[in-house]
Amino acid sequence: MRKMLVTGGAGFIGSEFVRQAALEKSNKIIVIDKLSYAGDLERLAELKDKYTFYNSDIRDKKNISRIFSKEKPDIIVHFAAETHVDRSILDGTIFIESNIKGTQILMDAARAIGTPRFIHISTDEVYGEIRKGKFLEESPFRPNSPYAVSKAGADLLVQSYIRTYNFPAIIIRASNNYGPWQYPEKFIPVIIAKIMNGEKIPVYGKGLQCREWLYVSDCAEAVRFVTENGKIGESYNIGSGIEKTNIAVAKKTLNALGKNNSHIEFVQDRPGHDFRYALNIKKIKELGWSPKIDFTEGITKTVQWYKDNSPWLMSKMNSIKKYWKKVYKKI
């Protein structure tokens, strides 16, 4: 049995990865999560005794070293990060500290015990925006938000460890995720939560910003695939090939909720808003992975999950309302 340590395993994407990885009897799962506002062990409730949990901030060097020395994981999959662009615009400090310093502390602890494989989860936002074409793994970094800069810094730090220390890392850059269990600060769960609360749907600017939308189970499956089959020292883009503008996503989600477009309210655009992201995923496809869930199926599943789990969504509403007021400003 091999030990797989997952940072941020109580988060949105990390928990989906843990749920999938726990299905394999050969894996012993260890989860590290500081349980911030966006972390929730309820996401792992179905696993019961199938994982070992440590409540720790990845910036806590002493504690991380203690956990790594005790567990001696064979594989580290690093999801833990501050992830929301809007929050990074309000205050980017925690993003720099967690995403860059935290990643360094994890890599140093992994080096100290000789962990043979470290999977770093990055983002398409490190590339910046692209008007035409798609980003390759070799495309230059041009991050445009404090969040994106923090992830680009972590990404470059991992690359430097690969080069300097022969560190056994693989980097994954994923496109926009959506699906069950996503905290209602991200666009699709915001739409669902607002409708359930009898409020208007906030759409930035004219809603023409375009993203590549990847269903969370596809993302987690791709990470698992790269963990098993990826080459040390390489980077892999993970995307769906499904591009949608924000206004199209809003309308599609409203339709799945049985609502019309009169619920849309355009709000002041956020500063430095990237217009479009798109990833070339030829490299991972040639390795043997392709996405499975199309957007219609994904939205249908997502809306149904939130309907079935409305108590969980509503439990997050009170803590998010003040944040919504700070971010969504009427035009």
Residues annotated as part of the active site:
124-125, 147
Strand ranges for the chain from DSSP E: 2-7, 27-33, 51-55, 75-78, 117-123, 169-174, 176-178, 201-204, 210-215, 235-238, 243-245, 264-267
Read off the amino acid at residue 21.
A
Q: What angle do CA 96, 100, 102 make, to 5 degrees?
A: 105
Taking the C-alpha atoms of residue 152 and residue 146, their distance in angstroms, rounded to an integer, is 10
Read off the amino acid at residue 66.
R
Which residues neighbour 107 within 8 Å (Cβ) at sequence distance 6 or greater? 118, 157, 158, 161, 167, 169
Helices H, strands E: what count in the chain? 12, 12
